[in-house]
Each structure stands twice: as structure tokens, then as C-alpha cells.
Amino acid sequence: MENKNTIKSIILAAGKGTRMKSETPKVLHKIFNKELLGYVIDAVNNTGMAEENFVIVGHCADEVEAYVTKNYDNAKCRLQSPQLGTGHAAYQAYEDLKGFEGQVLILCGDTPLITSETLNEFIKVHNDNNCALTVMSAVFDDPTNYGRIIRDENGNLKAIVEEKDASDAQKKIKEINTGVYLLDWAKVHEAFLNLDSNNAQNEYYLTDIVKWTIKQGLKAQSYIMSNNEESYGINSKKHLAQASKILKDRVIEKLLADGVTIVDPDSTFISPETEIEADTIIYPCTYIEGKNKIAKNCKIGPFARIRGDVELAEGVKIGNFVEIKKTKIDAHTNVCHLSYIGDSTLGSNVNIGAGTITANYNHITKEKFPTVIEDNASTGSNSVIVAPVHIGENASVGAGSVISKDIEANALGLTRAPLKILKGWFDRVKK
């Protein structure tokens, strides 16, 4: 028997997402610069139980597969062509699961709000009740467009009916199918060999495996998730914006509880992969995406952008209209307003003057180069550091300089044309 502490997943990601009105595959749209599909795969992996993930691709299959292959070692793609419904989609992993006797988790690739905590609880309930199949459900005041959970007179799971096939009475049911299932694969896998397309859409519904399971006398149940927001599926740009807001509110609520000061939560956006310690202050209109670590007593913003792979030590100040990416900054360093710092390492007690730019990108070779600025160094306003450059300890860069060579410790780097004063210039121009 397989270990109940390990699972394999099937993630449905083949749909076109017509209502997105975009050439980008739906599951590759982003929140905080992270793909929707990535949120789902990470939620599964973060349960600590994921042995293998099968991503079912269809529309723009090559593009989705390239993303999966680049970012996940334990995920493989399987092509659904033609696309004949959710049951047919999940069946594309059937051969890969032959002989598997463990549990299979099935999810949708466009539900970025699902959490590993909810999945762990879902799996626990399934195991505690020794079920062959458990479907995750949610309760909504307005269940329109969702498949309804049908129960018998004793409250036991009976079937799932899609809205287009539902009667008027069934449409009044508020418990809906979220599209997440957990299967005891050894007991339920034959359901995929018995699906039919006798429905309004002429498709093979994944929901029909519930009917098959119950018909076989196997135990099936519905698990009602505690937070129905986690079931939110993305089908339009409006949905994408709404999910972004839900996610950012969730993150900010946690950070506030952890002792981070966020001056204006409504205008502040912080990715869930960013760690921030207590007593740091985030000023309004700050946008933080990607994975970052921010220590205590930092001050960030207003109107700052942190783009990912950034580490800020204690007491760092990031001024207004500053952009930072792929940079490590040591304690008590200031990056003043209107600056861009990328692919850099800054020491402690460094002062970056207003308007300083690390020119890190060669547009011809497409290469990016590092800048290193050591402890107690400083750059004057409107400096350009043309990477790769190393600025030594206690060194200074004069205001308005373009620095393309290393500056040794304790030295001043300065590039500045001689000042010319043309007397009487205004009068001559006026004439």
C-alpha cells in the first residue's frame, strides 16, 4: 500500500480562457508577477505530501509546458487534444497512474487563492473518514454558474449536477462544487473508464466519478471549505483583479497581526512570498512583488517598488519612487528617492543619493551585470553606475558622475565637465 502521507495530483490547465480576451494562456496570467498555475502547484507542494504533479495542458500547450518544466522538478505535462471536458482532461494522466495505490488530488489550475492549509485539512478529513472519494465544496449566497452538490435525505453526498443540467429546484442549492477532489486511486480509477457524454454539453464530466463511486457502494463525501474565497476561479480580467485584491488583503492582514506598520492598506500591495519583520513601516502606494526578505525597523516608500529577490537588513530605508530588484542591502543603508538599484550588493551604512541608477543591462547581449558597493560608501545625486562596478569601503561618487570603472576604498570617483559661465547670455538670447 502507498503511504497516506504522499499524494499525486492532476491539475487541469488546458482551457483557453476566452473571456480573458488575451493571447496569454489563462493559467499563465499573473498576480504579483507570479503565474496563477504557480500558485496552485505551490499550494499542492507546500502540503509536504506531493510526490508528483501532472498538469493537463491544451491551449498554448507548449507555452504552459515551458513554464512548468522551467519552474517545477516534480511536475509533468500531459496533452489533452481535443478538449472533451474535465473528465476527459483528468483521464490524460491515467496511464501515468497505472498501478498507483495511493491518493490522487485533482484541482483546477486557475484557482490561485487555494492554500496548502486547506488542502491539508481536506486530506486529513478524507483519511479520517476512510473515504474512496471526497469532493471539496463551498457555500455561496449566489451559486450561479457552479455545479451543485446534491445530497440525499440523510445529508449524504449523492451527486454533483452542472448548472446547465440542473432542475429549477437544484439551482436553488447553495452548496457548490469547487472542482477539487481527492480519490483513493486504487478504488476509483475505473470510474474514468466508465464516463459518458450524455449531457447538455456532450462532454465527459469529472463530476460523474461521484455517481460511479456511489453506485459501486464506495464511500463518498463532501468537505465544505471554511473560506469560500479560496475556491475563486479566474475566468476574466475582472476576476483576476478581484483575486489580486483578495490575496493582497489576506497578506496585509497577516503582516499587520505580525507587527508590521502599513500606513494605508488600501493602496499597498505585498506579495504572499514576501517576509517582513515587526516594526518595519510600509508607506502608501508601495508595490512589493516576488519573493523578498525585509528585516525589522525598515522604512519603505511611499511610491516604492520592490520587484523580487530583494533582501533588506535591519534599519534600511527605501525612499519614495525607488525601484529595487535582485539586490541585497545591509543594515542602516539609505536608498534615497528616484533611484533604481538592480542586481546589486550594498553594504551597511551606505548612502545612495537621489536619482542614482545602476545601469545593469546590456541591451545588445541581453546580459545583466552586478554592482557592489561596500560599507560606508556613498553616491551623489544623479549618479549612473555602469555595471559591472565595485565601489570600495568609504568611497564616494560625486554628484552627476557616470562611473564605469571600480573605485578603490577611501577614494572619490568623479566625472564632470568644467563649469562654464556665459555672462550676459540672457540679454543676447532675448535680442
**Which positions are catalytic?**
337
> Which DSSP helix (H) or strand (E) runs through 123?
helix 116-128
d(CA 88, CA 77): 15
d(CA 334, CA 337): 10
d(CA 371, CA 390): 6
Backbone φ and ψ for 257, nearest 5 degrees, come out as -65, -25
Cβ-in-10-Å burial (0-12, 13-18, 19+) of 117 comes to: middle
Q: Which residues does residue 9 pair with via DSSP β-bridges, in sequence order?
A: 53, 105
d(CA 18, CA 237): 11
Provide the CB-side half-sphere exposure for 220 (13 A, CA): 29
Backbone φ and ψ for 251, nearest 5 degrees, come out as -65, -45
Encoded amino acid at 49, one letter? M
> Which DSSP helix (H) or strand (E) runs through 68?
helix 61-71
Q: Residue 400, SS3?
A: coil
d(CA 173, CA 191): 26
d(CA 89, CA 195): 12
Look at the block and give the residue holding cell 483521464.
91
Q: What angle do CA 265, 266, 267 make, to 5 degrees?
A: 95
Cis? peptide before 265, omega within 30° of 0:
no
